[in-house]
Structure 1
Amino acid sequence: MSTMLYPELYKSLESVRWNMEKDIPWDRFDASRLTDEQAMTVKMNAITEWAALPATEMFLRDNAHDSDFSAFMSIWFFEEQKHSLVLMEYLQRFRPDFAPSEAELHAVRFPFDPAPPLETLMLHFCGEVRLNHWYRRASEWHTEPVIKFIYETIARDEARHGGAYLRYMKKALVQCGDIARAAFAKIGVLMASARRTDKPLHPTNLHVNRTLFPRDTVQSRLPDPGWLEHWLDEQILFNDDWEKKVIERILHNLSLLFERTFATVQELNRYRKTIVARLNPGDAAKQPALA
C-alpha cells in the first residue's frame, strides 16, 4: 500500500520556507535601478502567479479521488499565492502605481475544463521546471537588488514544487503502471518540444476552457495578453541555450522516473510509442507522431 506523501512534503517544505518580512532584504532597494519597463513585468508576473487560484480549484476537482495529493495542494497553493503576494508587496512599497488591481487579479480566475489528472500532473511538473528557469533568467535581467533577490527566492520554490510533483509521479507509477507512463511520456514529449511551437509552453499559456476560447488562457486575460512572449524574447532574453536547459531537465527527470536514459525528445517519443503499444495492442500504428 502506498504511503501518503503529504506529511513528509509538509515537513520538508516547511523547513525551508522563507518569511516575507524577515528574509526579503527590503532595505537594499535602489530606486535608481528600477525602470518602468521592469516594474511592469513584475506586475504581469504577480497577476500570472495569482492563477494558482483557478489551478488549485482544477486540481481539487479533478483529484477528488486522491486525498493525499489534494492535501498537498494546501502547500502548493499557499506558496504560489505568496509568490504573487511578494511581487505585489514589492510594487506597493516601491512603485504602487504599478500594483495590480483586484479586478486585474480576478480576471485570471476562471474555470478550467476537466482534464486527465495524470497528464495535468506532468504538465505542471514541466511548468515548474520551466518557471524555475524563467525566474532565474529574470533575476539576471533585473538590475534592482531586491527584485533580483525575490526572483531568485521564488525560483527555488518552483524547483522544490517540481520535486514534489515528481514524488507524486513516482507514486502514480506504482499505482497505475503503464497508464501513468503513457500519460507522463505524452506530455513530456509535448513540453520538451517547445522550440517547435510559436508560443511558450507553460500551463498559463495553454487553452483550458472551450466555451471561453480564445480568451481561455491565463495569459490572454492579462492587461497585456502579449506580454509573455515580449518578456521572454525581448527582455529576459530566454534564448535557445536557456530553452535547452529546460528540455535537459525534463528529459533527465523522466530518465530517472522511467529508469532509462532519454538523450533526446525523439528517444522519449519512441518509448511513449512502446508503452502505447503495450496498452493498446494493434492500435500503435494509429498513434500520431508527436516528435
Structure 2
Amino acid sequence: MLYAKLFRELEQARWSMHTDIPWESFDASLLTEEQAQTIKMNAITEWSALPATEMFLRDNQHDSDFSAFMSIWFYEEQKHSLVLMEYLRRFRPDLLPTEEELHAVRFPFDPAPPLETLMLHFCGELRLTRWYKCASQWHTEPVIKQIYETISTDEARHGGAYLKYMKRAIDKTGDEARRAFAKIGVLMTSVSRAGKPLHPTNLHVNKALFPNDTVQSRLPDPGWLEEWLTKQIHFDKVWEKRVIKMILHNLSQLFGKTFTTALELNAYRKSLAVSTAAAV
C-alpha cells in the first residue's frame, strides 16, 4: 500500500499554522483592499476539497489504499482554507467567509471515471502550485506572501502523491490507465483550445445544476478566478508554459516516451486507441 509511506512522508513535511506562519510580521500598510478580497475567494475555493473528497470516496470504494490517502489530502487542503481564513480573522475580519458562503461550494459531483479524475486532479495540483507561487509574488504583505508559498509547496507534494497512484494504476491496468491519463493530459495542456486554464474548480461537474455546477460559479464573485489570473496576479503565457511543461515531463516519465507538446501527446493517445482497436 502507498498510504502508509505517503503518510510518513507528508507527516514529516507538515507545517504548523501557529509556529510556521510569521503572524507577528504583518504590515497593514502593505495589504490592499483588492488583495484582501482575493484571499477571501481563495479561502472559499479551498473549502471545495470537502465535496471533492466525498466524490473521491464514492467513486473509489474499490480502492481502500487511495481512499485512505484521502484522509491526508482532505486534512491538508482544508488546512489551506483554514489558514487563509485565520489571516482574515486576524487582519480583515470583515472579509471572513460566512458559513453560508462556505457551504455553497459543497454540492454533489456527478460520478466520473476514477482514472480520469485522478489525472485531472494531478494536473490541478501542478497548476495550483504555480498559481500560488505567482500569487505570492503579486502580494506585497509579508505574511500572506509566506502563506501562499507554504500552501504552494503542499500542492506540489500532493501532485507527487497522485503521481505515485498513477504509476500504480499503470502497473495494474496498463493501457487502460495510459489512455485515461493521455486523454486528460491532452485536455489540460491544450489551453489555447479551451480558451482558459482548466482546473477542477472551474469545470462543470453536475448536469442537474448546470450552469451553476462549477465551484467558481458558486462563489460570491463567480467571475473572480479569471480576473485574479489575468488582471491581478498576471498568470501569463510564461507561467502557463511552466505548467504545461511539467505535465508533459511527468507524462513522459510515466509512459517512457518524450512529449514536448500537446500535439505529441495527442498522437500517442491516438496510437493507444488504434492498438486497442486492433487487439479487439
Shorter-chain TM-score tier: over 0.9
Question: Which stretch of the first structure deviates more once superposed, 195-204 or 86-95?
Answer: 195-204
Q: Specify the alignment match of 2:165 in structure 1.
A: 168
Counterpart contact for 1:179–1:279, Cα < 8 Å: no
Counterpart contact for 1:122–1:184, Cα < 8 Å: yes
Residue 249 in 1 paired to residue 253 in 2? no
1:80 pairs with one of 77, 80, 86:
77
How much has 1:280 moved relative to structure 2? 2.1
Residue 112 in 1 paired to residue 117 in 2? no
Q: Specify the alignment match of 2:201 in structure 1.
A: 204
* Distance across 1 between alignment mates of 2:22 and 2:198: 32
How much has 1:118 moved relative to structure 2? 0.1
Q: Specify the alignment match of 2:91 in structure 1.
A: 94
* Distance across 2 between alignment mates of 1:56 and 1:259: 31
AA paired with 1:38? Q
* Distance across 2 between alignment mates of 1:214 and 1:116: 21
Q: Specify the alignment match of 1:183 in structure 2.
A: 180
Counterpart contact for 1:205–1:218, Cα < 8 Å: yes
1:147 pairs with one of 128, 144, 147:
144
How much has 1:281 moved relative to structure 2? 2.7
* Distance across 2 between alignment mates of 1:240 and 1:169: 28
* Distance across 1 between alignment mates of 2:196 and 2:100: 26
Deviations 1:99-118 (A, max 9, x none): 10000000000000000000
Q: How does 1:1-291 map to 2 (within 5 A)?
A: 4-281=1-278
Deviations 1:174-230 (A, max 9, x none): 001000000000000000111322233000000000000000000000000000000
* Distance across 1 between alignment mates of 2:47 and 2:92: 19
* Distance across 2 between alignment mates of 1:281 and 1:39: 56
Deviations 1:243-290 (A, max 9, x none): 00000000000001001110111110010011111222399xxxxxxx
Question: Structure 1-normalised TM-score?
Answer: 0.95
AA paired with 1:56? T
Deviations 1:29-87 (A, max 9, x none): 00000011100000000000000000000000000000000000000000000000000
SS of the counterpart of 1:281? helix
Unaligned runs of 5+ in 1: 284-291
Question: Structure 2-normalised TM-score?
Answer: 0.99
Unaligned runs of 5+ in 2: none
* Distance across 2 between alignment mates of 1:45 and 1:118: 27
Counterpart contact for 1:47–1:104, Cα < 8 Å: yes
* Distance across 2 between alignment mates of 1:240 and 1:13: 31
* Distance across 1 between alignment mates of 2:195 and 2:270: 25
* Distance across 2 between alignment mates of 1:195 and 1:12: 36
AA paired with 1:215? N
